[in-house]
Amino acid sequence: MLRNRFGKVVAGAAAGAMLLAAAACGGGDTTEGAPSAAPGTDAPAASKVKVGLAYDIGGRGDQSFNDSAAAGLDKAVAELGVEINELEAGNGEAESAKEERLRLLASGGFNPVIAVGFAYSQSVAKVAAEFPDTKFAIVDDEANKLPNVSNLVFAEEQGSFLVGAAAALKSTKGDIGFVGGVEVPLIKKFQAGFEAGAKAVKPDIKIQAKYLTQPPDFSGFGDPAKGKTAAEGMFDAGADVVYQAAGGSGAGVFEAAKAAGGMAIGVDSDQAKTADPTVADVIITSMLKKVDVAVFDFIKSYTTNSVVAGSKVYDLKAGGVDYSTTGGKVDDIKAQLDEYKAKISSGEITVPKE
Amino acid sequence: MTTTATAAPAAAPPARKFKLTWQVLLLGLLALLFLLSVARVLTGANDITSGGAIGAALMAAVPIGLAGLGGLWSERAGVVNIGLEGIMILGTWFGAWGAIVTGNPWVGVLAGAVGGLVGAALHAVATVTFGVDHVVSGVALNILGLGVTKYLSTLVFAEMSGGGDTQSPRIPAMTTVSLPWIGGPLQELEAKHWFFLSDLAGVLRGLTQNVSLFTLLGVLLVPLTFWLLWRTAFGLRLRSVGERPVAAESLGVNVYFYKYVAVLASGVFAGLGGAFLAIVAAGTYREGQTGGRGFIGLATVIFGNWRPGGLAAGAGLFGYTDALQLRQGGTSVHALLLVVGLLLVAVAIWQLVKQQRSRAALLTGIAAIAVLVVFAVTDTIPEQFTSFTPHLTTLLVLSLASQRLRMPAADGLPYRRGQAK
């Protein structure tokens, strides 16, 4: 009897954990349902274009990746007068929730539909096949090629190369660190580029690397406490510059840099601008990934009827990735960084992807 | 600290001769430190006893321990609280909100506790007054916590500069305190990497330097809980409600009242855990930042056999291993393998010599050799494995430790007033 109840409690705890995951997707779906922006009036040619966009975990307001996509969408609303509907993703949601979100947009007459983030890889492939007349775009993924899917991908390794070089040039201890959110192929590209860039400057530099969680646990993109602990460990072990590609956990990395008197490098958007002013001074530069450019370009190509299916790579040459100079912390090494930039653009340096 | 004293004599099985006193506990901890020191000197993994690692361990352990205390209070009164995770989420949100709006982190602490209290009040009304199944109500609370905070964020944080739909602006930092004069000397001693002395210095430095007052509060709540529940008449009544509510009622104890108090206290503790996570450990609110810590807290209750001392040990173990794997993953966890191997050897010898259980000793010995072989043939542990070190360690300790876990007898059972008649 007693043992039975004990087992029941334990089973209950496990069931609770699973239900929590299920609950997370429930929360995501019920948020915004109606188009959240009025259609423009001064662009008659595009006034019927209804753009649907599905965010990755974090959504609008993450001051990073998703906000960048939102910026592109906002620009399209302002300049092209399109009508939009944005849907948010939930933490730890099931694959079916993603499919349902895309299906909701496509069946609601939204065309084109943009999925932000590699998490949508499988669901886009499935839903795009169900709606052959709708144009889909997926950011950060080129695993699935369909006639109505555009894969908007970035050469993160090239941008990371530049900030890696910046880290090595700025480091006085010859010891730098990399904090990744979740060990997935996409984030490994950041690490590979960062390490290559640092080694190009200083071949014997010591590079510490840590991923906060392993897939399928994606909490590493949203756990600042873990980011802080990992970065503290790196600073304690002798690093003086840490680059984060950890989404929402990155705030913890900046906190640790501030406490340790070290330097940090931001990711995706210009984080010296978006981070809190009290920690912004530790951010020497950020690897810019211009998702806004890709999203806007894609919507624009739709309004001019020139959508191209398949991969479109936004690299350094195309202005898809770059490094930021806000705060003036890398002004002294700008010449060297721009030299690397020219070499990568011309193909003289090939940056490894893993 | 006598919080880890053994179970009450009435509940203890007669075969149990071993009594854990504070002297034994201290000796055990020193022996563990000695083992860690051996591992550190042999492997050069200096981080395993560094002040930074111990500080980070404390930081990781406190929110889990607070959630665990929440579970302990509730379950001791017979109410299973699966909703700890949801209450913690409320704690993170309200903690961050209170601190940001007023600019004072302590207001945030209070707000987090109140947020947790409100969540727990729902659980109490549902389970105690209306007799809803505890697990169902708890799961509903988890869903509610997530949804409510999501909604509130879009209302409140999205309007603040630096905030967004999924995160808050930076939370004003809480002041930290240090034991004066010893910080510098300890750090020097630690940096010398001497055998044992430097390790001791590292541990002391981690526990005494730059500790936030909230951390101290969190740690002190463990002995306070022990004192309240095991040394006062109030505690006895509360626990009697979790053991035999019918008997308690026949003696004039207001069962509903004690259940309410316990569940509300549970909400305060878990809410504080959430507030700690947002204010001290992260410095910001972020959607989903609890990452299952409420469930881990619930697990420490079982790990600790529904006792505060055992619960604190479980949270400490989890926090320590989590801090190690996050800070210097591969090397530190590799050094831990040696510690685990040596511990298993000691257990095997104990089983063979003291208990004459030769078959058990053989199995433990084989496990020890397996661990030591893995240690010998590798230089570092791959990242894929280090991230679940905390879970694996906890599982290992649970499987080796005594299996005589005893939950409160009426835990999770529905109770209606006057049902004894």
Confidence of residue B219 (pLDDT cuts 50, 70, 90): very high
Whole-angstrom distance, CA of residue A271 vs CA of residue A63: 8
Partners of residue A279 in chain B, C-beta under 8 Å: 170
Residue A17 at interface with chain B, using a CB cutoff of 8 Å: yes
What is the architecture, at CATH level 2, of domain A156-289+324-346? Answer: 3-Layer(aba) Sandwich (3.40)
To the nearest 10°, report the CA torsion of B337, B343, B346, B352. -90
pLDDT of residue B384: 83
Partners of residue A30 in chain B, C-beta under 8 Å: 147
Residue B106, in any domain of the structure = yes
Residue A20 at interface with chain B, using a CB cutoff of 8 Å: yes
The helix or strand, by DSSP H or E, that contains position B219, with its residue range, turns out to be: helix B213-231
Whole-angstrom distance, CA of residue A335 vs CA of residue A100: 49
Question: Which of A9, A27, A5 has its CA nearest to residue B82?
Answer: A9
Asked whether the beta carbons of residue A13 and residue B298 sit closer than 8 angstroms, the reply is yes
How far CA A215 is from CA of A94, A184, A212, in Å, comes to: 14, 7, 10
pLDDT of residue B270: 97
Asked whether the beta carbons of residue A6 and residue B142 sit closer than 8 angstroms, the reply is no
Confidence of residue B405 (pLDDT cuts 50, 70, 90): confident
Max mean pLDDT range (A31-40, A263-272, B28-37, B228-237): B228-237
* B8 pLDDT higher than 50: no
Residue type, A177: G
Assembly ipTM: 0.89
pTM of the model: 0.86
**E strands present in B120-270:** 167-170, 176-177, 211-212
Residue B330 at interface with chain A, using a CB cutoff of 8 Å: no
* B407 pLDDT higher than 60: yes
DSSP, collapsed to helix, strand or coil, labels residue A137 as strand
Do B294 and B330 lie in one domain? The reply is no
Do B113 and B259 lie in one domain? The reply is yes
Do B109 and B147 lie in one domain? The reply is yes
Long-range contacts of B18-26 (CB under 8 A, 24+ apart): B25/B1
Partners of residue A224 in chain B, C-beta under 8 Å: 282-284, 286, 289
Residue B30, in any domain of the structure = no
Residue B357, in any domain of the structure = yes
pLDDT in tens, B145-195: 999 999 999 899 988 887 888 889 999 989 899 988 888 889 899 888 889
> What is the total count of domains within chain B?
2
Do B269 and B391 lie in one domain? The reply is no
Do B298 and B336 lie in one domain? The reply is no
Residue type, B416: R
Residue B69, in any domain of the structure = yes
Partners of residue B387 in chain A, C-beta under 8 Å: 211-214, 217
Task: Please tell me which residue of chain A has the smallest CA distance to B163.
Answer: A61
* A302 pLDDT higher than 60: yes
Domain closes at, from B303, B338, B356: B303
Task: Please tell me which residue of chain A has the smallest CA distance to B324.
Answer: A233
Determine which of A9, A86, A206, A228 to mutate to test the interface with B (most B C-beta atoms within 10 Å).
A9
pLDDT of residue B402: 63
Interface of A with B in 262-281 (CB under 8 A): 274-279
Confidence of residue B235 (pLDDT cuts 50, 70, 90): very high
Residue B175 at interface with chain A, using a CB cutoff of 8 Å: no
Residue B85 at interface with chain A, using a CB cutoff of 8 Å: yes
Instruction: Report the residue from B82, B165, B406 with minimal CB separation from A60.
Output: B165
pLDDT in tens, B85-100: 999 999 999 999 999 9
Interface of A with B in 152-181 (CB under 8 A): none
Q: Give domain A29-154+292-314's CATH number out of 3.40.50.300, 3.40.50.2300, 3.30.450.20, 3.40.190.10.
A: 3.40.50.2300
**E strands present in B111-222:** 167-170, 176-177, 211-212
Residue B188 at interface with chain A, using a CB cutoff of 8 Å: no
pLDDT of residue A6: 55
Whole-angstrom distance, CA of residue A121 vs CA of residue A268: 20
Partners of residue A18 in chain B, C-beta under 8 Å: none
Residue B281 at interface with chain A, using a CB cutoff of 8 Å: yes
Whole-angstrom distance, CA of residue B339 vs CA of residue B143: 40
Domain closes at, from B257, B272, B303: B303
Asked whether the beta carbons of residue B295 and residue A67 sit closer than 8 angstroms, the reply is no
CA distance A235 to chain B (A): 9
Residue B131, in any domain of the structure = yes
Do B128 and B231 lie in one domain? The reply is yes
pLDDT of residue A288: 93
* A7 pLDDT higher than 80: no
Whole-angstrom distance, CA of residue B34 vs CA of residue B338: 12
* A20 pLDDT higher than 70: no
Which range of residues forms the domain containing residue B145?
47-303
Do B234 and B340 lie in one domain? The reply is no
Do B133 and B247 lie in one domain? The reply is yes
Do B221 and B298 lie in one domain? The reply is yes
pLDDT of residue A215: 87
- Where do the domains of chain A lie? 29-154+292-314, 156-289+324-346
pLDDT in tens, A100-134: 999 999 999 999 999 999 889 999 999 999 999 99
Residue A19 at interface with chain B, using a CB cutoff of 8 Å: yes
Q: Could you tell me if A353 and A189 are in contact, meaning their C-beta atoms sit under 8 angstroms apart?
A: yes
pLDDT in tens, A196-235: 999 999 999 999 999 999 988 888 988 999 999 999 999 9
Which structure tokens are listed for B234? 């109030």
Do B297 and B341 lie in one domain? The reply is no
DSSP, collapsed to helix, strand or coil, labels residue B181 as coil
Asked whether the beta carbons of residue A233 and residue B56 sit closer than 8 angstroms, the reply is yes
Residue B333 or A63, more confident: B333
Domains A29-154+292-314 and A156-289+324-346 share a fold: yes
pLDDT of residue A61: 74
Interface of A with B in 185-244 (CB under 8 A): 210-214, 217, 219, 222-226, 228-230, 232-234, 236-237
Asked whether the beta carbons of residue B288 and residue A92 sit closer than 8 angstroms, the reply is yes
Partners of residue A5 in chain B, C-beta under 8 Å: 407, 411-413
pLDDT in tens, B288-304: 899 899 999 999 999 99
* B3 pLDDT higher than 50: no
Phi, psi of B14 (to 5 degrees): -65, -25
Interface of B with A in 52-81 (CB under 8 A): 52-53, 56, 59-60, 80
Confidence of residue B403 (pLDDT cuts 50, 70, 90): low
Domain closes at, from B269, B303, B337: B303
Q: What is the number of CB-based contacts under 8 A between chain A and chain B?
A: 188
pLDDT of residue A4: 56
Do B292 and B330 lie in one domain? The reply is no
* First-to-final CA distance of chain B: 43
Share of chain A above pLDDT 90, in %: 66
CATH code of the domain containing B233: 1.10.3470
Do B55 and B151 lie in one domain? The reply is yes
